[in-house]
């Protein structure tokens, strides 16, 4: 299998993270994403670099306000891209916004929506898992993690996320329907399971 043009940037990005050169890692991994936008691993490494860089900065009200202000333009550009149905452009703008506020659940949800529209299942799952790590009670993340894991044929994980979602929203008919569909799928798979002779 030929090497992706993004591979050297990803490898250098990993080394930069190990050496705590987070700004350089962010630049390398951002470029790698432009070359290979569906890469879930690259997206995850980029977020790791962003979050580690944020941890090195002193926590202050001024920093928080600055982070919010620096996300305004990329978010506006992302919304315009979404209105034009340019979900790849929207995802790239949300990534830019996340550089300034990498733990923003609101921005991660918007990025996940764009990735879902692009049908970048692995990248969407990675982003949704990051949301889940930040907020274990995020119904959006749980519901979509269940649905995307079904798409990826990972039924046990899908069931786990749907069950967690149902605990948060016990009367949600859509989640109950997903669980019943998983039960039916399990029955069908058992019925047509090849027998060893």
Rounded (5°) CA angle 122-41-156: 40
We find that the CATH architecture of domain 136-192 is: Alpha Horseshoe (1.25)
Q: Whole-model pTM? A: 0.81
Contact 195, 165 (CB under 8 A): no
Contact 151, 122 (CB under 8 A): no
Question: Does residue 170 surpass a pLDDT of 80?
Answer: yes
Phi, psi of 118 (to 5 degrees): -80, -10
Could you tell me which of 68, 55, 142 has the C-alpha nearest to residue 98? 68
Contact 29, 45 (CB under 8 A): yes
Residue with tokens 């250098």: 12
Question: Does residue 46 surpass a pLDDT of 90?
Answer: yes
Give the percent of the chain with pLDDT over 70.
94
d(CA 72, CA 106): 13
The structure tokens listed for 105 are 């659940």
Residue with tokens 């470029």: 31
Give per-residue pLDDT as tens, 63-104.
778 878 889 999 999 999 999 999 999 999 999 999 988 989
Task: Give Cβ neighbours of residue 117 (< 8 Å, ≥ 6 apart).
Answer: 87
């Amino acid at each position: 299998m030929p090497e992706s043009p993004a591979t050297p940037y990803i490898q250098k990005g990993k080394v930069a993270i190990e050496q705590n050169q987070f700004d350089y890692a962010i630049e390398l991994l951002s470029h790698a994403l432009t070359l290979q936008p569906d890469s879930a691993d690259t997206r995850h490494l980029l977020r790791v670099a962003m979050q580690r860089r944020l941890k090195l900065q002193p926590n202050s009200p001024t920093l928080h306000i600055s982070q919010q202000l620096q996300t305004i333009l990329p978010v506006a550009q992302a919304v315009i891209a979404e209105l034009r149905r340019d979900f790849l452009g929207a995802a790239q703008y949300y990534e830019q916004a996340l550089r300034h506020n990498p733990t923003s659940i609101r921005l991660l949800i918007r990025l996940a929506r764009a990735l879902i529209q692009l049908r970048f299942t692995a990248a969407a799952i990675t982003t949704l898992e990051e949301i889940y790590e930040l907020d274990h009670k995020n119904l959006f993340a749980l519901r979509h993690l269940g649905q995307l894991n079904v798409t990826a044929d990972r039924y046990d994980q899908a069931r786990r996320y749907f069950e967690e979602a149902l605990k948060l929203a016990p009367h949600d008919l859509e989640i109950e329907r997903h669980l019943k569909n998983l039960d039916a799928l399990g029955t069908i798979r058992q019925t047509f399971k090849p027998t060893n002779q």
